[in-house]
Amino acid sequence: MPGFEGDARDIVIGALTTALCAIAVVVWRFAVRQARGNSAARAERNRVARRSASTSWLLARYPDRGAGELYVTSHLCPGTRTPLYSPQEWHDGPYAPDALLDATDLQASQREIDPKVLRQFDRRIPLNHPDGTPWNDSVLVASEIAEDGRIKVGIADYYQFLSGCGALMLETERALASLPSRTPIRNAYARDARSLAACPLGAHIIGANVTTILIDGDATWVLIQERHTRLAVHPGALNVAPVFGLLAPSALSPVVDISRDLIREYLEEFLGFDDVQYTAHSRRIDPDWYVRTEEARYLSEKIASGSAELNILGVGVDLLNGEVDLACCLVLRLDDFRDELHKMKVNWEYKSIKLVPLMSADLDEHVAAGQMQTGGIQSLDLARKWMSDR
């Protein structure tokens, strides 16, 4: 037939061209995925390297000299020295919250807010809610820590914490990135570890690192989170879960009830609730509305009945930024919590969260590799010790 050969040739060429284009698209997409994967892996390696460098720098800056002031692990990668000020008297728990946290005379912090420091943090993570409302809740801070670890509690705005302790952290990061390094804030307020533990920066936030342990017969599991990379403090680190700062209660009380903060974080970080503290500001008739939700009732009833054990096992001061960390342990039965695990929907603060055997060697390796947050190391180490002594 006239023109058949030409038509056939055109069809073949068209088919080959289409196939080559398809292959090119596949190769291009694969290359993009590889580049993104390589970029993410490189960024993670850089974060781990920075955490390791920060730990090494702080340990060199604050040699223990046999004083026993810095926390050394005994049950998690045993013998690991951490940049956490925590003398032996500070981790002989468990401690009752009302005996450890003295809120009988809450004094407001006089720390000045530094707009320059806030702008630096705002470049990492927006410090305002989507509607423009500042993310600046009132938090509980340590104004003084006694020799036995008892904490005199004060009150401050989150921005005051960033302006004081946050500025110290930013200064340390700059010191690691440049030579010669200048550290005027650390020179003035933290010449030695004990000086920083005296809470000289005026807004040392009190945070809780909670090791959540789930018991299933003879098996014992723990929740481990990977923090999101876009966080103001400790981005991308591994830690126990949940982790939170203690917020000032709506009604001032001489007793600090950390279980309320735990329930708030449980709702936000595990069940995908919006920022319940922010939402509470728009519900002034009942600012503690979230405590009475159906989702919160499960955990609050377990804690109240004693079937869920919540203990404070130790206290430490993070030498990176001066935050005061409570090493906590929450023990639950997996059968009681199984339905909640199926509902779990982590929020934006977590990149991922998983269930790991409490005694897994992987956890020791994460600590050895510098991947775990300092306060979480103490919490998990003391939790292992607590469970082994039971």
Where does residue 299 fall: left (phi above 0), alpha (psi -120 to 50 degrees), or beta otherwise? alpha
Report how far apart, in Å, the C-alpha atoms of 107 and of each of 103, 160, 308 are. 9, 14, 33
The Cα-based distances of 200 to 110, 120, 161 in angstroms read 11, 22, 12
Q: Are strands 101-102 and 350-357 parallel, antiparallel or unpaired?
A: unpaired
Residue 374 resides in a domain: yes
Residue 118 to residue 281: CA distance in whole angstroms: 22
Helix (H) or strand (E) holding 334: helix 334-343
DSSP string over 224-252: EEEE-SS-SSSTT-EEES-EEEPBPPSS-
- pLDDT value of residue 306: 86
Residue 306, domain member (yes or no): yes
Q: Which two tokens stand for residue 368?
A: 């050895």
| Cα 135 from Cα 112, distance rounded (Å) | 17
**CA–CA distance, 323 with 85 (Å, rounded to integer):** 11
What average pLDDT does range 183-188 have in this prediction? 96
Kindly state whether residue 37 falls inside one of the protein's structural domains.
Answer: no
As a whole number, mean pLDDT of residues 53-58 equals 91
Residue 283: pLDDT band (50, 70, 90) is: very low
- The domain that holds 309 is classified in CATH as 3.90.79.10
Work out the burial of residue 276: count CB atoms within 10 Å of its CB; fewer than 13 is exposed, 13-18 middle, 19 or more buried: buried
Q: Please state, in angstroms and rounded to a whole number, the distance separating the CA atoms of residues 54 and 48.
A: 10
CB 232 within 8 A of CB 162: yes
Q: Which of 29-43, 69-83, 258-272, 279-293 has the highest mean pLDDT?
A: 69-83
Residue 8 belongs to a domain: no
Beta carbons of 372 and 366 less than 8 angstroms apart: yes
| Residue span of the structural domain in which 212 resides | 62-389
Q: How many Cβ atoms sit within 10 Å of the Cβ of residue 162?
A: 27
pLDDT of residue 274: 62
Is residue 238 within 8 Å of residue 377, measured between CB atoms? no
Strands 151-157 and 309-318, bridge-based pairing? unpaired
- Greater confidence, 293 or 108? 108
What three-state secondary structure class fits 305? Answer: helix
| Predicted local distance difference test score (pLDDT) of residue 260 | 87
| Number of domain units in the chain | 1
User: Who wins on pLDDT, 12 or 332?
Assistant: 332
- Mean of the per-residue pLDDT values for the chain? 84
Q: What is the pLDDT of residue 294?
A: 77
pTM: 0.83
Does 20 fall in a domain?
no
Residue 230 has pLDDT above 90, yes or no: no
Q: How far apart are alpha carbons 225 and 44 in whole angstroms?
A: 15
Residue 290 included in any domain: yes
71 inside domain: yes
User: Does residue 376 fall inside a structural domain?
Assistant: yes
State yes or no: pLDDT of 325 exceeds 80. Answer: yes
Phi then psi for residue 214, to 5 deg, are -115, 120
> What tokens were used for 152?
């005199």
Angle in degrees, 0-180, between the axes of helices 167-177 and 4-61, rounded to the nearest 10: 110
